[in-house]
Structure 1
Amino acid sequence: MRTALTDLTGVRHPIVQTGMGWVAGPRLVTATARAGALGILASATMTTDELRRAVREVASRTDAPFGVNLRADASDARARVRILIEEGVRVASFALAPTRDLIAELKDAGVVVIPSAGARRHAEKVAAWGADAVLVQGGEGGGHTGEIATTVLVPQVADAVDIPVIAAGGFHDGRGLVAALALGASGIAMGTRFLLTSDSTVPDPVKARYLAATVTDVTVTRAVDGLPHRMLRTELVTALERRGRVRALLTALWHAARFRRLSGLSRTAMLRDARALRAGRELSWSQVLLAANTPMLLRAAMVEGRTDLGVMASGQVAGAITDLPSCAELVSRVIDEAEATLRRLPPPHRT
């Protein structure tokens, strides 16, 4: 299925596996790339040395294109960009809008730049700055999300920019791919669906919790880091929503210290990152501090398997997923379903 996305990135199928922290590592990205879709490594939870090793590991296992997701506001963003360029990574994706300079540096090196956006104005901005494509996530998507539904947001962005649009939020099958194409997108991005594959390293008890969830078990809360965050409703989430502000901030301080040790960042670097996060998202200092909760609470579930101590970011689509195929089986199924759906569509009625 050839689209502007496949032409741009060199993948066989217009499907993207998103860069989920603690989840999108070399194993999942390799399996996705081998399946003909675009796998994205999540670098925000890696040190720069770990990122380089992860890139080399994927490259040693497949010749297919793949990408790396970066935090544009990170103090070491330029060092990470240099790693991508030096290692010949095909695609750089961003959770927040990269600067003009970062976009230009990557494009000059032949790297495809794909920022993410949750609003039309953000998509218009990165398109004007030279982005090659934009990933647009509607409110159904997991993790940090907005309020506008995918079916409303995607056509708005597709009409506003002249670069390929990748639709994210609520996709898990071939019917969704056809719907996204009809809305003006050039492909779809899926996070929760790729998390729930046999190639994902997420512990089995956590996967079982996702598979048992219904659509109504997925909620949006600000209790984790002060920002709207879509995740599975668990006892921990309810407890976080009931705790006091002082206790929440003290917990965030503890999580910040743990993440600093894991990431190898200095206190100075973490302070620079905090200032950039505050400026980029117009947050209060208390919200910036609460943001330290996110990586550690996600790690507790996605790495350690502690559903009682961690949170599980999730799209609403978790309630429609019932199995754990391999990435190869998933991608093949989506494409087969999309082609079958296209064949079933009735021809236009003309009078």
Structure 2
Amino acid sequence: METAFTRLVGVRRPIVQTGMGWVAGPRLVSAVAEAGALGVLASATMTPDRLREAVREVRSRTAAPFGVNLRADAADAADRVQIMIDEGVRVASFALAPSRELIAGLKEAGVVVVPSVGARRHAEKVAAWGADAVIVQGGEGGGHTGEVATTVLLPQVVDAVRIPVVAAGGFFDGRGLVAALAYGAAGVAMGTRFLLTAESTVPEAVKARYLAATVRDVTVTRAVDGLSHRMLRTDLVASLEGAGRARTLFRAARHAAAFRRLSGLTWRALLRDGRTTHRARSLSWSQTLLAANTPMLLRSAMVDGRTDLGVMAAGQVAGVIEDLPSCAELVERVMAEAEDVIGALGTVSGVGDRREVRRSL
């Protein structure tokens, strides 16, 4: 299935695996790329040296295009961008809007720039700065999320920009892909669905918690880092919501120290990152300190398997996912379902020709 997005990044399937911290490593990314979709490495939880190693590991497993997700506000963002350019990475994605200068530098090096946005005005801004495409996440998406549903946000952004738009938040099957195409998107991005695959390195006990969840077990809380964060409802989340301010800030300071050790950052670099985050997200200083909670609490669950000590970011689709296919099986299933839906739409409309239905989409 060819769309403006597949042509832009050079993949066969209009599907993106999002850059999930502690989850989107070389094994998952290379499996997604081999399946014909766009895999995206999550670099924010890697040191620069580990990022270079991870890129080379993916390259050793597949010749297909893949991407790297970056924190635009990181103190070493320029160094990470240089690693991507040196190693020939095809796509740069961003959780926060990259600067005009960062976009220009990547494009000059031939890297496709695809920021993630959660509002129409953000899409308009990065498009005006030269972004090649945008991923638009509605409120159904996991992790940090907004309040506007994908079905409302997506058409707003499609109407506002003239670059390919990839829809995220609430997608897990072929029906969703066809619906996104009907809204004018050029593909879909999925996080939770790829987290729950055979190649995902998330511990099996944690995957089992996701599979057992219903849609009512997915909640949005601000207790982790002061921002709206969609995750599975657990006893830990409840305790974080009930914790006092002093206890919460003390935990965040401890997590900041632990993350500094894991990431290889100096205290000066960590403080510089904090100041940048404080300005970029218009956070209070207490919220900025709370942001240190996120990577370490996610690591406890996604790496160590401690669901009692960590949080599990989750899109609402966690409540309807019931299996752990390989990435190849998942991508083929999504595409087959999409073909079936397109065929059924052709029958309903009386067109009877899938090619004509595709043109109408």
Asked whether the two chains share a fold, i.e. TM above 0.5, the reply is yes
Match of 1:242 in 2: 242
Spell out structure 1 runs of 4+ moving beyond 4 A.
none
For residues 329 and 147 of structure 2, what CA distance do their matches in structure 1 show?
32
Aligned residues: 350
Q: What secondary structure, in the 3-state scheme, does the structure 2 residue paired with 1:89 have?
A: coil
CA distance in 1, matches of 2:82, 2:93: 14
Whether 1:55 aligns to 2:50 is no
Query: 1:155 corresponds to which residue?
Result: 155
**1:83 aligned onto 2:72:** no
**% identical aligned pairs:** 76
Aligned counterparts, 1:213-224, within 5 A: 213-224=213-224
State how far apart, in whole Å, the 2-side matches of 1:87 and 1:99 are. Answer: 22
Separation (CA, whole Å) in 1 of partners of 2:303 and 2:222: 23
Cα distance in 2 for residues equivalent to 1:120 and 1:348: 32
The answer for the alignment partner of 2:164 in structure 1 is: 164
Letter in 2 for 1:161: V
Distance 1:204 1:182 in 2: 36
Deviations 1:128-162 (A, max 9, x none): 00000000000000000000000000010000000
- Counterpart CA distance in 1 for 2:23 and 2:183 is 29
| Cα offsets for 1:216-257 (capped at 9, x unmatched) | 100000000000000000000000000001100000000000
Distance 1:51 1:266 in 2: 17
Q: How does 1:249-288 map to 2 (within 5 A)?
A: 249-288=249-288
Partner of 1:126: 126
Q: Post-superposition shift, 1:348?
A: 3.5
Q: How does 1:1-351 map to 2 (within 5 A)?
A: 1-345=1-345, 346-348=347-349
**CA distance in 2 between partners of 1:2 and 1:223 (Å):** 42
Query: Residue 39 of structure 2 aligns to which amino acid in structure 1?
Result: G
Counterpart CA distance in 1 for 2:325 and 2:4 is 27
The answer for unaligned runs of 5 or more in structure 2 is 352-361
Q: Structure 1 CA distance, aligned partners of 2:348 and 2:5?
A: 26
* Cα separation, 1, equivalents of 2:275 and 2:342: 49
Q: Distance in 2 between the 1:122 and 1:245 partners?
A: 32
CA distance, structure 1, for counterparts of residue 322 and residue 230 of structure 2: 19
- Per the TM alignment, residue 262 of structure 1 is displaced from its structure 2 partner at its CA by 0.5
| Partner Cα distance (1:315, 1:244) in 2 | 27
Q: Which amino acid aligns with 1:348?
A: S
Q: Return the letter of the residue paired with 2:190.
A: M
State the 1:329 CA deviation.
Answer: 0.2
SS in 1 for 2:349: coil
Counterparts of 1:201 and 1:188 in 2: how far apart (Å)?
22
Distance in 1, matches of 2:281 and 2:313, equals 20
Per-residue deviation, 1:295: 0.2
Residue 328 of structure 1 aligns to a residue in which SS?
helix
Structure 2: distance between partners of 1:105 and 1:82: 10
